[in-house]
A and B are shown apart, each in its own frame.
Chain A
Amino acid sequence: QKEVEQDPGPLSVPEGAIVSLNCTYSNSAFQYFMWYRQYSRKGPELLMYTYSSGNKEDGRFTAQVDKSSKYISLFIRDSQPSDSATYLCAMSAGGAQKLVFGQGTRLTINP
């Protein structure tokens, strides 16, 4: 079983929809949770970063962490065609522990 599980999709929604992307994990030591966005033929770029449980909002994006359920989510409001990309969750126990990535969800926003 992988440490981090992410539904690969693909996920296709109409412009303006609310998108929910999710990851589950098995390592209870994970404390730092990140979401990366990766456009085609590009490297990943950090979108959001959350420490421990709770919510974090940045514009149209909201990240949620539920450590009791080992479940994290990224919500995108008022989705735009420019949001079409692969979204990767990543997490770490901190310190010298490396980032562990999910396999990514490919998202398409249709105009």
Chain B
Amino acid sequence: EAEVAQSPRYKITEKSQAVAFWCDPISGHATLYWYRQILGQGPELLVQFQDESVVDDSQLPKDRFSAERLKGVDSTLKIQPAELGDSAMYLCASSSRGGFTDTQYFGPGTRLTVL
């Protein structure tokens, strides 16, 4: 069964350092999402890609966060510099076309701890 892959699964870093997360969506899925899930809360959308284009990044803190999906396949989310409040689970999801009725399939997430 096809799955969304994410790496690393866990990351511990010190504040002010740079971190990067990688996501490989299900093959053929045009839409890719990055979510942040703070412990005890639901996921919150950070950025949505349709192929290589950003569709929604309204909740992405652009002063420190960046995301790219250069060839419309895998994607990288970067934080520079990391802050204590960035500690969270970062989830990647993909769907076939991005229409609302398309199921979003989530990866296992990257748990980030900022010390």
Contact = CB atoms under 8 A, between A and B. Distances in A.
Main secondary structure of the interface of B (DSSP, over half): loop
Interface residues of B, number: 22
Contact of B106 (A32, A41, A44, A92): A44
A43 B55 contact: no
Interface residues of A, number: 24
B26 interface: no
A41 B42 contact: no
A31 to B, nearest CB: 9
Interface of B: 4, 40-45, 48, 55-56, 91, 93, 100-101, 103-109, 111
A32 B91 contact: no
Main secondary structure of the interface of A (DSSP, over half): loop
Contact of B42 (A45, A49, A103): A103
B42 A6 contact: yes
A90 B42 contact: yes
A43 B45 contact: no
A4 B108 CA distance: 24
Nearest to A44: B106
In this complex, the member of B40, B43, B105, B111 whose beta carbon has the largest number of chain A beta carbons within 10 angstroms is B43
